[in-house]
Amino acid sequence: MRQNIMMWGPLFILLHLISIPALAEESTYPGVDGVLGLESENGSSWLAIGMTIPENHALSGILWYNNDGLVIFPTVSVGTGHTDGPGSLAEMVVAAEQVGGQSSYWSNLLFAQPIGASLGRLYLVFEFPAATIFTFEGAGGGPAIGYCAGGLGTDGWISGDGEDWMPLHDESDFAVLPILVPLEEGMAVKSLDDAVEPEVPPVVHPYLAASPNPFNPVTKIRFGLTQADKVSLDIYDIRGARIASLVNEVMEAGHHVVPWTGLDGSGRRVASGVYFARLVASKITFNQKLLLVK
């Protein structure tokens, strides 16, 4: 294990880097050389990752190598930034909240709506949880994100206040892969002159997603409707039995968020395991796998 302690202006940033050969088990994923965690003396720290977005495409989510499945990152934000770095968090949009993933493996995060880039580049920012320290690789080891040999084009910056950023060395890239979709009319597009919160775009295509996932104790189920419709949103167990009904009413077109706290229809907490959220409207049926961990 290699540990670097860095004084940076008024901030004390502790970088933990641990070298672990051949972390990735799937040949479809890049090999991961190690993981990196952050700690700031004021309890807050952020890791920004720059990604190139091809012309006429939008970022709809990411695949990333997560260290500890027990850790929840408070926010993941997206912004255009500037030519010399990510810029201020105030210029970014929170794309997901309470984000978790698998331990020592690649995890999938889908945004409620894709985000385009007017300059062909976006910065993805993980907010690291305060008062949580990275100590070792794997479950229970604390917050950290994988890195690998150069070639992915995902360079990084760190910050202790979300305003001033220090670039990390460019010998390695972060194990973060963009999930891209074609840019369509109505999608949000980040540009340098955006306000703090851009106008919420209309729903172009219906969708169903959940974050965090895996989760404990709450996950936010997000879905979009292109028109007003009678909607049912239910939770099923792995045997196909319905255990909870979250929505059964007419809902307006647009984006919606419904939390599930891991309780069944009688208010009893369900066991850890695999569940499914099923969204049904007149013209759509979506299923989203959920993993409750304890």
pLDDT for 7 equals: 44
- Tell me the C-alpha to C-alpha distance, in Å, between residue 136 and each of 68, 107, 117, 293: 9, 19, 36, 20
**Is residue 57 domain-shared with residue 162, that is, in the same domain?**
yes
* Domain membership flag for residue 200: no
**Is residue 145 domain-shared with residue 228, that is, in the same domain?**
no
pLDDT for 163 equals: 83
pLDDT for 198 equals: 44
Last residue of a domain, one of 136, 159, 190: 190
pLDDT for 274 equals: 94
* Domain membership flag for residue 266: yes
Scored b (16 or more CB within 10 A) or e, 64-92 reads bbbbbbbbbbebbbbbbbeeeebbbbebb
Rounded-to-integer distance, Cα 263 and Cα 248, Å: 17
State the total domains in the chain: 2
Candidate from 11-25, 133-147, 185-199, 231-245 with smallest mean pLDDT: 11-25
- Which of the two residues, 192 and 254, has the higher pLDDT score? 254
* Domain membership flag for residue 139: yes
> Where is mean pLDDT largest: 8-22, 180-194, 213-227?
213-227
Condensed to tens digits (0 to 9), the pLDDT of residues 252-283 reads 998 888 999 899 999 899 999 999 999 999 88
**Is residue 128 domain-shared with residue 274, that is, in the same domain?**
no
- Which of the two residues, 198 and 185, has the higher pLDDT score? 185
**Is residue 7 domain-shared with residue 121, that is, in the same domain?**
yes
| pLDDT class of 164 with cuts at 50, 70, 90 | confident
Rounded-to-integer distance, Cα 204 and Cα 198, Å: 17
DSSP codes, 171-186: TEEESEEEEEEE--TT
Condensed to tens digits (0 to 9), the pLDDT of residues 8-44 reads 444 444 454 544 443 334 446 778 888 888 876 667 7
* Domain membership flag for residue 127: yes
Rounded-to-integer distance, Cα 254 and Cα 207, Å: 11
**Is residue 71 domain-shared with residue 142, that is, in the same domain?**
yes
Model confidence at 227: pLDDT above 50: yes
Tell me the two tokens of residue 54.
């091809």
Last residue of a domain, one of 190, 221, 255: 190
| pLDDT class of 143 with cuts at 50, 70, 90 | very high
| pLDDT class of 188 with cuts at 50, 70, 90 | low
* Domain membership flag for residue 197: no
**Is residue 45 domain-shared with residue 121, that is, in the same domain?**
yes
> What is the average pLDDT score of the chain?
82
**Is residue 165 domain-shared with residue 226, that is, in the same domain?**
no
Rounded-to-integer distance, Cα 163 and Cα 20, Å: 31
**Is residue 158 domain-shared with residue 211, that is, in the same domain?**
no
**Is residue 99 domain-shared with residue 55, that is, in the same domain?**
yes
- Which of the two residues, 150 and 179, has the higher pLDDT score? 179
Model confidence at 47: pLDDT above 90: yes
Q: Give the alpha-carbon dihedral of 224, 227, 232, 238, to 10 degrees.
A: -40
Candidate from 117-131, 198-212, 249-263 with smallest mean pLDDT: 198-212
- Which of the two residues, 110 and 18, has the higher pLDDT score? 110
194-197: long-range pairs with CB below 8 Å, 24+? 194/80, 194/91, 194/93, 196/90, 196/91, 197/93
CB 231, CB 203: distance < 8 Å: no
What CATH number should be reported for the domain holding residue 277? 2.60.40.4070
* Domain membership flag for residue 201: no
Candidate from 127-131, 161-165, 180-184, 192-196 with smallest mean pLDDT: 192-196
Rounded-to-integer distance, Cα 101 and Cα 109, Å: 8
**Who's near 126: CB < 8 A, 6+ residues apart?**
46, 47, 49, 73, 76, 99, 145
Last residue of a domain, one of 161, 190, 219: 190
Rounded-to-integer distance, Cα 107 and Cα 158, Å: 22
Model confidence at 85: pLDDT above 90: no
Model confidence at 235: pLDDT above 90: yes
**Is residue 21 domain-shared with residue 163, that is, in the same domain?**
yes
Model confidence at 153: pLDDT above 80: no
- Which of the two residues, 12 and 72, has the higher pLDDT score? 72
Residue numbers of the domain that contains 228: 207-292
pLDDT for 104 equals: 92
Q: Give the alpha-carbon dihedral of 249, 98, 123, 199, to 10 degrees.
A: 30
Q: Give the alpha-carbon dihedral of 64, 80, 51, 145, to 10 degrees.
A: -30
pLDDT for 234 equals: 97
* Domain membership flag for residue 41: yes
Tell me the two tokens of residue 82.
């500037």
Spacing of C-alpha 9 from chain mean position: 29
Rounded-to-integer distance, Cα 106 and Cα 250, Å: 37
Neighbours of 169 (CB within 10 A): 7
Model confidence at 208: pLDDT above 50: yes
* Domain membership flag for residue 196: no
**Is residue 222 domain-shared with residue 99, that is, in the same domain?**
no
> What is the average pLDDT across 143-152?
84
Bridge partners (DSSP) of residue 166 are: 158
pLDDT for 10 equals: 40
Q: Give the alpha-carbon dihedral of 193, 195, 196, 201, to 10 degrees.
A: -110
**Is residue 50 domain-shared with residue 76, that is, in the same domain?**
yes
